[in-house]
Chains A and B, each alone.
Chain A
Amino acid sequence: MAGVSVTIKKRILFVLISFFLMFFGLIGRLVFIQIINGDDYLKKAVDQWTKDIAIPSKRGIIYDRNGKKLAVSATAYIIYGRPAQIKDKATMAKILSEVLEMDEQTVLKKISDNKSNVLIKQKVDSEKVNQLREKLLENKLNGIEFVDDCKRFYPQANFASHLLGFTNNDNTGQDGVEASFDKYLNGFPGRNIVMTDGHGDELPGSDRKYFEPQDGLNLMLSIDEVIQHFAEKAIENAQIENKAKRAMAIVMDPKTGDILAMVAKSDYDNNEPRKAPAEVADKWATMKDKEQLDELYKVWRNPILSDSYEPGSTFKIITSAAGLEENVVKPDDKFFCSGFITVGGHRLKCWRSYRPHGSETFTQGVQNSCNPVFIEVGQRLGKEKFVKYIKAFGFGAPTNVSLPGEASGIVRDVSAVGPVELANIAFGQGITVTPIQLITAVSAVANGGYLMEPRIAKKLIDNDGNAVHEFEPRVVRQVVSKETSEVLRGILASVVSEGTGGGAMVPGFKVAGKTGTAQKAENGRYISGKYVASFVGFAPANDPKVAVLVVIDEPGGSSTFGGVIAAPVVGSIIGDTLRYLDVKPQYTEEEAKKFERPIVKVPEIRNMNYKEAVKELTKLKLQYRLDDDNNPAPESLVLDQTPKAGAEVNEGTVVILYAQSVAP
C-alpha cells in the first residue's frame, strides 16, 4: 500500500497550525471577556440577577378636626405582564380587558410588546385582582404579576375637593393638603431585594434584603366635616340658583385662624380627578392632551387662594379699621353724600348717585356703603398710612396657609398711589385680594385686632394615635387695637341689623358684616354685566366664633347684589354653624316678642310695584324696610326681597325690599 504523499502531509500540518492559531485567538477572547472585562460583566450580571421591589408605604389618613376620615388608603395592586410567558395572548387580552375594563386591542398590544415586563394597569383593587387570579387559574394562563400598591380613597366624592387635593399613581400628593403635607403623609417606601431567575421568579434560598416601609403620618385638619357640609350645600345651591360661574365660601374661626370649611364650586371628585369635567365632557375625546390638561387645571384650581379679585365694598371694612385706629374718623362724625365727590379733577360717583345719601354719620355711611364717606376717610388717612394698614392686614402677600398655589393679589406701592387711586382703593377698587386674605383680615377686625396665620392643619398623628407634631395658632401681628375692633364690630353689626347687609340676619345671633358688589375688570376695563357679589361676616358680633366669606363669581340670575345673593348664604352658614357649635342664641327683646307671634308665610312681592308690595306686607302684619332708608317712588318695581317668598317667619319680621332704578 502506498504511503501518504508529502503534499498531503504538508497540507495536514497547515490545517493543524491553522486550528491551533484559532484556538489561541479564542483563548485571547476569553482573556478579554473573563479577565479584562470580567468585573464589568459581573456587575451587569448582578444587576440582572437582583430585583429591587419597592414596597409602598401606607399613606397617612386625613382626618377632620373631630377625627372623621376625609381621605384613606386602601390596598391596591399594580398589574404587570411578562409577554414572553404569555402563551395564549388573545385569550389573555380578552380576560384582562374584561376584568380591568380596558380596551382589548390596547391590552393585546401591550402584552405582545418585545419587553420582559409591561405595565398593564395601576391602582387595581383587591376584588378585581381576585377575579383576575381566578380566571387566569381557570384558563391555566401564566405571565401576570401583581405588585402591592396603595390606592387613595376619598369617602365623600366632591367634598372639600380643592382643599384635599389628590395623589398621582406614585402616591405622591398633587394638590391641596395632599400636596402640601405630602412629605408627612407619604412615609418611606420599603424595599425587597431578591435574587431572581431568568423568568423573574425569586431564587429559593438566595439571600434577600428586606427593608420595612415606614408608614406615613396621619393628618388632622382644622376643617370640621359638619361645617364643611353646611358650606358645601349652601354654596352648591347658591351657584345653581344664581347661575353663577363659580361660588365659594370660606369659614374661619376668627380667634385661631382655623379654617373650618373651604368650598369652591364647581369642584371635582377626588377619587377621579382626571375625569372629564362636566362642561367639556361631550367633546373630551376629541381634545388634545394639552387641551384636556388645561381644562383639568381649571377645575383643580382653588380660587379661594389662587385667584384674586377686586373686593369692592367688603374692603370698606379695612378702610374703616384704619380710619378708626388712626383716629381720623369717629362713628358719629358727620358726612354728606351729594352723589359724587371730585378727586383730582375726576368725578367719583357714589353707587347711589341717582338718589344721594345726603347727610349721614360715619356709622350710617358704613350701613349705606356710601362711597364718598370712605373716599374722605381714605383722604384723611393719607396714602402712606392707608397702604401701611392694607399691608399690615396681610394684603399683597401670601397668608402662608399650608396649601399650594397661593396668590398675593395686587396692592399698589405707595409711590404708585395718586389721589384717584387712593380714593378708589378706599371703596375697594384698584386693588385685588384673594378670598383667604380677606377672611383673614376680617377675622383680625373681629378678634380684637390680631392678624392670624390661617391654619389648615391641627396636628400630625402616628398610627398609635399619638400627636407627633401640633401646629399651633400663630399671630402674625396685631393690626388694630381691641377698642377699634370693638367699635367696628358694632358698626358692622348695624350694617346687618339696619343697613345693606340685612340678608345675613340670623335670628338669635347678632351678625356683623359687609356686602360687596364689584364689577369685573378684564384687560384694565370694567365689563358691564359681569359682577362679583360677596358678603363677609362674623357672629356673634360681640364675641365672634365664626367668620364667613361668600363670593359669587359672575352671577347670572335675577340679582347681582352681594347683599341680595351672598348675604343670605353667609347667614345660613353662620346660623347652621353656631347652632351646631351650641352657641346659645340671645334673642333681643324684639326678637323674643317676635317668636311669640304667629307664623306667616312671606308673600311673593317681586315684580310688584312698591306700593302694592307694601300693602301686601302690611296685610300679613310683616314689617318692611328698603335696602336703604329713603322712600322710592310708589311705582318703582320691587326687584328682590329678603327673606324669599315662601319662608315661614313670625309676624312683625322685617322684609327687606330692593327697589328698581338702582344702578351699580
Chain B
Amino acid sequence: MPGKSRGSMDLTLLITVLILLAIGVTMVFSASAVSSVKNYSDKYYYLKSQGLYAILGIAAMLFFSKVNYKFIGKLAFPIVIVSLILLIIIFIPGIGYGAKGALRWIKIGPVNLQPSEFAKSALIIFMAKSLSFKKERVKTFTQGVLPYVMLMGLYCILIILEPNKSMAINIAMITFLMMFAAGAKIWHLAIWGFPLIPGGIYMLTKDSYSLARLTSYMNPWADPLNTGYQAIQSLLALGSGGIFGLGLGNSRQKFFYIPEAQNDFIFSIIGEELGFIGAVTIMILFVLLVWRGIRIALAAQDSFGSLLATGITCMIALQVVLNIAVVTVSIPTTGVTLPLISSGGTSLLMVMSNIGILLNISKTIKANGS
C-alpha cells in the first residue's frame, strides 16, 4: 500500500527546518559558551550536546518521514497507554528527577526523556486518529468533545502533579485546537470556558509566588531582583540589540544576567546579538514552517493526515508564539522552550520526529495538489 502514487516530500519545509536547526545550534553555542566555561570548564559543552541531538533529530526526522503515518495511526492507542505509564512511573522514587524538586525527567541510559513531551505527541496522534473516525459525530458533545476533554484532564492532572503547569496549559490548548479543527461545535468547546478558565486562573494565582509572577509582567520594575528579574533582563537584552544587534557572540546579557540563556530565553540573546532583523528573520522562518504545515494539513488525502498535520503544526506554532510572547514580556513568564532553537534533547527529538511525520504526510500530496 505505501506509495507508488506518492509525490516527494515538502522540500520548503525541510529546508526551513534545517535552517532553523542550524541557527539553533549556533545560538545555543553562543548563548551557553560563558556558562559552559564556568560550569563545565568546556566552552563547547552545550554545542556538543546540542549538535549531537541535532544529528539524532535529523535521523529521527528522516526515519519518521519514511514511516507511513497511517501505520502510526494504528498504534495510537498503545502510544497513549505508554505515555500514561511514563507519566506515572515518574513519581516512583529514584526514577523521576528534575530541577528544584519538580519531577519532569526519566533517565533511560544516557538519554533524558521528558514524558510530558512524549505525552503531547501521543495525545495529538490519538486525537487525530480518533476524531477522523467520528466524522459527523464530532458535532455531538458526548462523542466529539467529552472523551477528549477527559483524556486531556487525565494528562493535565498527572503533569500538574510533577509539577509543570506550562506544559499542562500547552496540552489543554492543543486539545481544544484539534477539536476545533475537527469541526466540533463552537459552543461545545466554549462551554468549557466556565470551569476551565476560572480553574486555570485559580491554579495560576493560588499561591503568592504564582500571583507575583503573574502580576510582575505588567510592571517588572516593581520587583526587579525577584519576580520581575527575568522579564527585565529579557527586555534589556532585546532592547540593547536594537535594529542590527551587537553581532554574533557579543551578547553581554548572557554573562549570567539571563540565567541559562541557552534555554527558554534564547530568543532574547538572538535579539541582542542579531538585532531586530535577526529576530524577525527567525520569526519569518517559523511563519514559513507553520504555513507549510497547514498547507500539508489542507492538502492531506484523509482526515487523519489532515488532523495530524494540524496538531503537529499547532503544537509547534503554539510553542513559538508562547515563547516569544514570554520573551517580549507580552504574557507572564512561563517555562516554554523555543522549538528547534532552545537547547534540550527530548524536546528537539520530539519536534524533529513530528516534523518527520509531517514530511511523510506531505509525500501523499499529489504533485499537482494545492
Q: Which one of A8-16, A227-235, A600-608 contacts B? A: A8-16
- B77 in contact (CB, < 8 A): no
In the complex, which residues 253-267 of chain B have their Cβ closer than 8 Å to any Cβ of chain A?
A: 253, 255-259
- A40 in contact (CB, < 8 A): yes
Q: Which one of A41-49, A139-147, A441-449, A497-505 contacts B? A: A41-49
The distance in angstroms between the C-alpha atoms of A3 and B286, with both chains bound, is 28
Q: Is the CB of B252 within 8 A of A4?
A: no
Chain B nearest Cβ from A647, distance in angstroms: 73
Closest to B316 in A: A19
Closest to A10 in B: B183
The distance in angstroms between the C-alpha atoms of A8 and B286, with both chains bound, is 23
- A581 in contact (CB, < 8 A): no
In the complex, which residues 171-230 of chain A have their Cβ closer than 8 Å to any Cβ of chain B?
A: 195, 197-199, 203
- B127 in contact (CB, < 8 A): no
Closest to A206 in B: B252
Please encode chain B, from 276 to 308, with 1 for each CB lying within 8 Å of some chain A CB and 0 for all others.
100110010011001100100110111100110
The distance in angstroms between the C-alpha atoms of A410 and B192, with both chains bound, is 89
Given contacts A8-B182, A20-B287, contact A26 B325 (CB under 8 A): yes
The distance in angstroms between the C-alpha atoms of A29 and B283, with both chains bound, is 12
Q: Is the CB of A116 within 8 A of B225?
A: yes
Q: Is the CB of A48 within 8 A of B236?
A: yes
- B115 in contact (CB, < 8 A): no
Q: Is the interface of B mostly helix, strand, loop or mixed?
A: helix
Chain A residues closer than 8 Å to B310, beta-carbon distance: 12, 15
The distance in angstroms between the C-alpha atoms of A215 and B271, with both chains bound, is 46
In the complex, which residues 166-190 of chain B have their Cβ closer than 8 Å to any Cβ of chain A?
A: 177, 180-183
Q: Is the CB of A5 within 8 A of B303?
A: yes
Chain B nearest Cβ from A660, distance in angstroms: 79
Taking a contact as CB atoms closer than 8 A, the residue among B238, B275, B307, B314 that contacts A41 in the complex is B238
The distance in angstroms between the C-alpha atoms of A64 and B214, with both chains bound, is 66
- B243 in contact (CB, < 8 A): yes
Chain A nearest Cβ from B153, distance in angstroms: 23
Taking a contact as CB atoms closer than 8 A, the residue among B240, B286, B302 that contacts A23 in the complex is B286
The distance in angstroms between the C-alpha atoms of A54 and B306, with both chains bound, is 66
Q: How many A-B residue pairs have CB under 8 A?
A: 143
Taking a contact as CB atoms closer than 8 A, the residue among A13, A16, A30 that contacts B271 in the complex is A30
Closest to B271 in A: A34
Q: Which of B236, B237, B302 has the most CB of A within 10 A?
A: B236
Given contacts A5-B303, A16-B290, contact A35 B321 (CB under 8 A): no
In the complex, which residues 19-64 of chain A have their Cβ closer than 8 Å to any Cβ of chain B?
A: 19-20, 22-23, 25-27, 29-31, 33-35, 37-42, 44-46, 48-49
Q: Is the CB of A4 within 8 A of B243?
A: no
Given contacts A4-B303, A19-B321, contact A33 B183 (CB under 8 A): no
- A115 in contact (CB, < 8 A): yes
- A7 in contact (CB, < 8 A): yes
Chain A residues closer than 8 Å to B237, beta-carbon distance: 45
Q: Is the CB of B242 within 8 A of A19?
A: no
Q: Is the CB of B181 within 8 A of A8?
A: yes
Closest to A200 in B: B256
Closest to A113 in B: B225
Closest to A36 in B: B239
Q: Is the CB of A34 within 8 A of B330?
A: no
Chain A residues closer than 8 Å to B303, beta-carbon distance: 2, 4-5, 8
Taking a contact as CB atoms closer than 8 A, the residue among B240, B317, B321, B325 that contacts A42 in the complex is B240
Chain A residues closer than 8 Å to B314, beta-carbon distance: 15, 19
Q: Is the CB of B306 within 8 A of A199?
A: no
- A523 in contact (CB, < 8 A): no
- A1 in contact (CB, < 8 A): yes
- B17 in contact (CB, < 8 A): no
Q: Is the CB of A198 within 8 A of B283?
A: no
- A631 in contact (CB, < 8 A): no
Q: Is the CB of A8 within 8 A of B242?
A: no
Q: Is the CB of A197 within 8 A of B257?
A: yes
Given contacts A4-B303, A13-B298, contact A31 B276 (CB under 8 A): yes
Given contacts A38-B242, A49-B252, A198-B257, contact A27 B280 (CB under 8 A): yes
The distance in angstroms between the C-alpha atoms of A426 and B139, with both chains bound, is 118
Listed A/B pairs (13) with beta-carbon separation below 8 Å: A2-B303, A5-B183, A8-B183, A9-B298, A11-B183, A13-B294, A29-B325, A39-B239, A42-B239, A44-B239, A45-B240, A114-B225, A198-B255
3 tightest A-B contacts by CB?
A: A41-B239, A198-B256, A197-B255
Query: 12 extra interchain contacts, Cβ-Cβ under 8 A, other than A16-B291, A33-B235?
Result: A2-B302, A4-B303, A8-B181, A11-B182, A15-B181, A15-B310, A23-B287, A34-B279, A41-B235, A41-B238, A44-B239, A197-B255
A interface residues, Cβ below 8 angstroms from B: 1-5, 7-9, 11-13, 15-16, 19-20, 22-23, 25-27, 29-31, 33-35, 37-42, 44-46, 48-49, 114-116, 195, 197-199, 203
